[in-house]
Amino acid sequence: MTDAPQDTIGLPLPRLDQFDFHPHIITTAGTTLVTFTSPDCGGCRHLRKVLREVLRMEPAWHLFEVDAQRDLALTNEFEVFHLPTIFLFQDGIYHCELQAEARPSTIIRATYAALQQPAREAP
């Protein structure tokens, strides 16, 4: 058996709430993906696993999770109507809602493609 890196599949994504979201995001340099999820959402559980793989493939990126049921102020602010939803930030600035199939390579390609476009106004 080889010494493999610690498996992080079981670890939760770092969570942000309505009190630390904006101060944290604005000071985070580089590419940041924030996913809005719910504990009882099957698609959200799947996306968490996919995003952990994205982080393995793009270790310089930052990934965070917001509990949409618990943090209704943020859910309303970002006009989240379906879960899971991913938002892209670059150097602390809102860029867009990311539309991509829940596969690591697809999310990575969609992120790079979105970053080639001008940033949009935050909801």
Residues 84, 115: Cα–Cα separation, whole Å: 21
Q: Rounded to two decimals, what is the model's pTM?
A: 0.89
Please, what CATH class does the domain formed by 21-115 belong to? Answer: alpha beta
CA 43 from centre of chain: 14
Residues 5, 24: Cα–Cα separation, whole Å: 28
* Radius of gyration of the chain measured on its C-alpha atoms: 14
Residues 56, 97: Cα–Cα separation, whole Å: 22
Domain ranges of the chain: 21-115
pLDDT tens for each residue of the chain, 123 residues long: 333 333 344 457 899 999 999 999 999 999 999 999 999 999 999 999 999 999 999 999 999 999 999 999 999 999 999 999 999 999 999 999 999 999 999 999 999 999 999 999 988
